[in-house]
Structure formats: structure tokens, C-alpha cells
Amino acid sequence: MTPTHILFVGATGSVGRYAVEEGRHQGCHVRALVRDASRARFASGIEVIEGDLTSVDSMRAALDGIDGIVFTQGAHGGPTMVESVDYGAVRNALDALEGRPVRIALMTAIGVTYMEGSFNASTHTHDWKRRSERLVRASGNEYTIVRPGWFDMNAPDQHELVFEQGDRHRTASPADGVVSRAQIAQVLVTALGCEAAAYKTLELVSTTGPAQDRARLDAMFAALDPDPKDTLDGVRDEDNFPPCCQPKRVKEDLKRIEDFAAGRTA
């Protein structure tokens, strides 16, 4: 499905602002979810809806009439906040939809499958982002999961995008890859309208060279391998995060989302 009415979650964030503008540029009806509409600053033509991504009821209202979602939200306040925002927004949106189909573009992070590093040990950020990916895959929706490199640390001549798979980035530093926020937004929004991007997970970095046009991005999506249907992880991801060892509440969330998907296809 190619969505025309898109909800942007994390719309006022450092990537979200670019994503909202990219959606407008690509001709979509853009709805930006914000906490305080009086402080939102967007171009004309952007629908702004006030709500709370930690509330299922707010997400239900925000998703009315929506057939696509771009998730760019992110928290930095420790494990509880990361669970509430990075994971919770995805869970709440899927709960609010109750199986209604939408096309999803989810931004997580490069190195998200690196569970043993000091960064993840202190923040649990990779844990919760990876769990949010699993919810999206379990939902039965068409999706693209984008794991970008370090934001805006690319050199002035470093704009040629590279799609990777397998997530073997282990330094938790810009050595894992860099990419501009504007290009992250372009890839997320372009993925929603590209059938070849469906059911795929990729790491996104940039290298020396000029930026590709949208037609070239479509070909790059087509060259990727889809995620396997018999697992909740991305294609070639390291098997280091057993579903059986997840918290009880996460298992319950996953089962509920899977039940919604099964009910839609029954």
C-alpha cells in the first residue's frame, strides 16, 4: 500500500522536523503529532494535532484517517524514559490501530543489535529500540525499519547514501557510520511510497559522493533482502536477544500485537 495521509511521531525532534517537511515535499497529507501546538513551527499546509505519544487514547485520535506512520521519536533520560518513548510510542500506536493496516517507517539506530556495550548497559536504549522493531514486524503491517548512523557528522562532500544489512557495527561511535538528518528523513518518507522497501530493515550511512535521487533510492531498496518471516529480527541480525528472555510485559505486548494481526487476516 502507498499511504497518502501520514502521521509523524516525533515531529518536533531533530529528524522529525526534516521528515515532516519531506512528507510535504513529496505531496503527502502530513499530520504532525506534538505535545504543545502553540509551540509548533511548521510550514503552511501541515496539519498539527496535539497529543501524547505515551497515551493510547491520544494515539487513537491522532491516527484517525491515517494510512502511514513515520516514527522518529527518541528519548535520552534513562531506561524508563526510553521505554516510554522509543518503545512505548510504537506499542501505543499499534494498540490504538487494533489491527487496522497502515504502512510504517520506523527509525531506530545503527548498532541496535549491539547489546553488550557500555552504552546499552547504562541506558538500555538498544534493548528498547530493538523491541520496538519486533513489535512492528509482528504487527503484519508493511514496514521499513531504518537504522541511521550518527546524525550530521558527515563531511561536506559525504552525501552518497549506502544501505547495509546485518548490523555489525560495534564501536558505538561515529566510526560506525554517519549520515545527515535531512537524508534520514528522505529515506524514511521515500520508503513509505516504495513497494520494494516493504518488510526490509537496513542500516543507513553516507560516503563520499553526491546524493542519489529518489529513483535511485527505489533501486537501492529493491536490492535489499527482506526480513525472514519466521523471526522477529532483521535479516542477518545477530541472534543475541532471545525472545524467551524478554520481560513479561514485553511478551504480553508482542502477543497482543500478534493477535491483532491474526484477527485481521482470519
> Given a cut of 80, is residue 96 above it in pLDDT?
yes
Instruction: At 129, list the grid cell.
Output: 529500540
| Model pLDDT for residues 203-239, shown as the tens digit of each residue | 999 999 999 998 999 999 999 999 999 899 999 999 9
Average pLDDT over residues 95-121: 96
| Model pLDDT for residues 38-69, shown as the tens digit of each residue | 888 898 899 999 999 999 999 999 999 999 99
| Model pLDDT for residues 160-194, shown as the tens digit of each residue | 999 999 999 999 999 999 999 999 999 999 999 99
Torsion of CA 117, 253, 3, 151, to 10 degrees: -20
> Given a cut of 70, is residue 266 above it in pLDDT?
no
CATH 3.40.50.720 fits 5-265, yes or no: yes
CA distances in angstroms from 157 to 72, 121, 183, 235, listed in the order given: 25, 35, 14, 30
pLDDT of residue 265: 65
For the chain, what percent of residues have pLDDT higher than 70?
A: 99
pTM exceeds 0.85, yes or no: yes
Residue 163 identity? F
- CB 87 within 8 Å of CB 129: yes
Average pLDDT over all residues of the chain: 96
List the chain domain ranges.
5-265
